[in-house]
Amino acid sequence: MKSAWSQVLSAMNVEREEMAQQNESLLSELNQLKSDRKSASEQFTSCQLELEKALQLASEFRQKIDEDEKIKQDLLNQLLSERANKAKEIVLEQGRAQQAIAEANNLKSEMEKMRNQAQDSVTRCQEAVKAKQDYEQTMANERQSFQQKIVSNLSN
């Protein structure tokens, strides 16, 4: 009986020991879960703050995009208006350019006519100079011939 009692006590001690270890293990696990829960809660709070910041940045970014789009639209309208004005100016300038071209062509025709007249005058002048030179040469030849005749007649 002592031996049976001793076995029961020993079994109880083993069970108590196992229960104490199990209790410690459960307490450790509970503490770990509490720590994990606290960490998860902190992470959740941090994520909420980051999300609020991200939403604020997105809102500011959207506002900036809207402002930029308005500026871009205003610039586009201004550009289109300027382009229309430039197109009108180009049409006017083309008219002026065509008029200037016509005047230039008239002046060119007149210059060509004057050039031809000048060339004719130069040709006539050259012909006159040539004729004068020929006349002077002929006269010089006749003078020389006449002088030779005079010298020859005097010598005889």
Residue whose entry in the numeric block shows the structure tokens 């020991």:
17
Taking the C-alpha atoms of residue 100 and residue 94, their distance in angstroms, rounded to an integer, is 10
Read off the pLDDT of residues 5-60 as tens digits, 9 standing for 90 and up: 788 888 888 889 999 999 999 999 999 999 989 999 999 999 999 999 999 999 99
Could you tell me the pLDDT band of residue 156, with boundaries at 50, 70 and 90? low
Could you tell me the pLDDT band of residue 3, with boundaries at 50, 70 and 90? confident
* Residue 148 pLDDT: 87
Whether residue 7 lies inside any domain: the answer is no
Count Cα neighbours of 104 within 13 Å in the Cβ-side half-sphere: 6
Could you tell me the pLDDT band of residue 154, with boundaries at 50, 70 and 90? confident
Whether residue 87 lies inside any domain: the answer is yes
Read off the pLDDT of residues 105-121 as tens digits, 9 standing for 90 and up: 999 999 999 999 999 99
Mean pLDDT computed over 77-81: 96
Taking the C-alpha atoms of residue 80 and residue 75, their distance in angstroms, rounded to an integer, is 8
Residues 58, 64, 69: CA angle, nearest 5 degrees:
125
Structure-block tokens of residue 23 = 């209790």
Question: How many domains does the structure of the chain reveal?
Answer: 1
Whether residue 74 lies inside any domain: the answer is yes
Whether residue 155 lies inside any domain: the answer is no
Whether residue 8 lies inside any domain: the answer is no
Whether residue 104 lies inside any domain: the answer is yes
Share of the chain above pLDDT 70, in %: 99
Taking the C-alpha atoms of residue 88 and residue 70, their distance in angstroms, rounded to an integer, is 27
Domain range for 109 is: 65-125
Whether residue 22 lies inside any domain: the answer is no
Whether residue 131 lies inside any domain: the answer is no
